[in-house]
A and B are shown apart, each in its own frame.
Chain A
């Protein structure tokens, strides 16, 4: 094989690779668009008016996840499945956002941490690498960490809206999350960087809880609920 032949073979390989990337990028753009729409719907829970109809917001978000499922279905067809990690960077960001959004919806509905299986189900993808397009565990964890900072914001806003019970529940949830993350031996990578931000979210929520308890507002709420 001559040098020229060799190089034109590689050139062919590279341009085929670029075509695939172009296709993936198009689908990912659609995904990002839908993710932004879902985020807009869910953001309204921070408004004082939004607190009253959280369930309807969640329903609306769930509807939008149907579009997401269409997109992920399309994405799967764009490249050979065993080359997932070759193109991983292209959808990593949006997949983390979507994991966060799914986790947020599930938290608002049931105040529980979404499992990785549930996220995969909401996005219509797999958990195991062997079975096809899957949710990488690091992406799932990154999504959960985004949720933590969103919840610290929600704790502040729920106090403003007069819901004094929620920050306590969020505090419990975040503390549990924190002890979960402390089990992991993260190395120096983006996930670790994001995890380092978790302690500030924990701190912020604890401050909110402190403010409430020092004023007896938390107890008042509990008493109100008992009646």
Chain B
């Protein structure tokens, strides 16, 4: 109650003061016109930020779907087909990253970095997972960046058509985003390892454990020089590595004793649905 009274008083006083200062309230005042400029500048910046967040979300969703698709390679006979399908999806993601690059043209990449870093990390995860399945190696930062070069023809790039030559846009993933994406990749590799065991694949787990160990060693090399998020992910990485190493251990110790088609039960994997013919093959 007293609050409301207070407000009423304040309003009355404001009109009092308002009368006094009416002359400086006019829209021609220097301060007001300066703030109009700021308004425009800030609105432009915030709009761009929002657009980037939206694109980043699309990139995240599409990358996640690609990863889910890639997880099916363990249970499908034709790996190549899935890889090609994933490649098409990744091309779609790259188009979206092209939009990010377009938004960032002439801007400081780091000013808007927070808007799109989740999407980019997810993309790194997807593309490196794809690369690993095909080549069994870690994709390098240069290889990823090399594919993020976009050529925009003039009529699409500039509405006024003032530029006549096609321009080249590049998007550079920062080493930090790459690092965080690779850290996420290890979680996917762990899942792949467990499900491939479920399918009676005896080679993949060992390959994966070697690869994961290399990545783990790499992260130990970086240690605490990296940003804060890296050390957080390192913990998850250790857990993934532990699971994979345990799986390999079990395979080595008991693999010779247990018939291959029963391995799934040993790991009580979620992807326990196996085709007996496939497992024997």
When distances are taken between beta carbons in the complex, the residues of chain B under 8 Å from A86 are 110, 113
Contact between A175 and B222 (Cβ–Cβ < 8 Å)? no
Would you call B211 and A3 a contact (CB within 8 A)? yes
Q: In the assembled complex, how far is the CB of residue B138 from the closest CB belonging to chain A, in whole angstroms?
A: 5
Tell whether, in the assembled complex, residue A6 and residue B218 are in contact, meaning their CB atoms are under 8 Å apart.
yes
Cα distance A85–B115 in the bound complex, in angstroms: 13
Asked if A7 meets B222 with Cβ closer than 8 Å, knowing A176-B21, A183-B39, the reply is: yes
Which of chain B's residues have a CB closer than 8 A to the CB of A181? 35
Minimum C-beta distance from A162 to chain B (A): 21
- Pair B25/A3 contact, Cβ less than 8 Å: no
Q: Across the interface, which residues of A come within 8 angstroms of B176, CB to CB?
A: 14
Q: Which residue of A lies closest to B217 (CB)?
A: A4
Binary CB contact string for chain A from 124 to 153 against chain B (1 if under 8 A, 0 otherwise):
000001000000011001000000000000
- Say how far B13's CB is from chain A's closest CB, in angstroms: 5
The tally of CB-CB contacts under 8 A between chains A and B is 125
Contact, CB under 8 Å: B34 / A115: yes
Known interface pairs A15-B225, A181-B35; A3-B10 also in contact (CB < 8 Å): no
B214 contacts partner chain A, Cβ-Cβ < 8 Å? yes
Question: Given A4-B217, A18-B225, A129-B108, does the pair A113, B46 have CB atoms closer than 8 Å?
Answer: no
| Interface residues in B195-233 (C-beta closer than 8 Å to A) | 211, 214-215, 217-219, 221-222, 225-226
Q: Assess whether B140 is interfacial by the CB under 8 Å rule.
A: yes
Instruction: Give chain B residues whose Cβ lies under 8 Å from the Cβ of A26.
Output: none
Asked if residues B18 and A10 are in contact (CB atoms below 8 Å), the reply is: no
By beta carbon, the residue of chain B nearest A81 is: B108
Please tell me if the beta carbons of A85 and B111 are within 8 angstroms of each other in the complex: yes
Known: A7-B221, A10-B178, A179-B25. A85 touches B110 (CB 8 A): yes
Question: Counting CB contacts under 8 A, is A194 at the interface?
Answer: no
Closest to A184 in B: B39
**Residues on the A chain within 8 Å of B109, using CB:** 85
Chain A, residues 173-197, CB within 8 Å of chain B (1/0): the string is 0011101110111110000000000
Q: Scan residues 1-27 of chain B and give those whose CB is less than 8 A from a CB of chain A.
A: 10, 13-14, 16-18, 20-21, 24-25
Residue among A168, A175, A213 with most chain B CB within 10 A = A175
Task: Give the distance in Å from the alpha carbon of A141 to the alpha carbon of B37 in the complex.
Answer: 12
Interface residues of A in 193-227 (CB under 8 A from B): 203, 206-207, 209-210, 213
Per-residue 0/1 for A1-23: is the Cβ within 8 Å of any B Cβ (1 yes, 0 no)? 11110111111011100100000
Closest to A189 in B: B46
Q: Whole-angstrom distance between the alpha carbons of A108 and B267 in the complex?
A: 76
Question: Of the candidates A10, A113, A203, which one forms a contact with B34 in the assembled complex, judged by CB atoms under 8 Å apart?
Answer: A113
A185:B138 contact, CB within 8 angstroms: no
Judge whether B35 and A175 touch: CB under 8 Å. Answer: no
Residue of A nearest to B9 (CB): A210
Given A7-B218, A11-B221, A206-B14, decide whether A179 and B32 contact each other with a Cβ distance below 8 A.
yes
Which residue of the partner chain, among A8, A10, A180, A209, contacts B31 with CB atoms under 8 Å?
A180
B141 at the interface (CB under 8 A from A): yes
Report the bound CA distance from A184 to B179 in whole Å.
38
Q: Say whether A88 faces chain B, with CB atoms less than 8 Å apart.
A: yes
Give the distance in Å from the alpha carbon of A140 to the alpha carbon of B29 in the complex: 19
User: Are B24 and A172 in contact (CB-based, < 8 A)?
Assistant: yes
Sorted nearest first, the 5 A-B pairs with minimum C-beta distance are: A7-B218, A180-B35, A85-B110, A85-B111, A86-B110
A-B contact pairs, 12 of them (CB 8 A): A2-B138, A4-B218, A7-B218, A7-B219, A10-B222, A14-B225, A83-B110, A137-B41, A185-B42, A206-B10, A206-B14, A213-B16
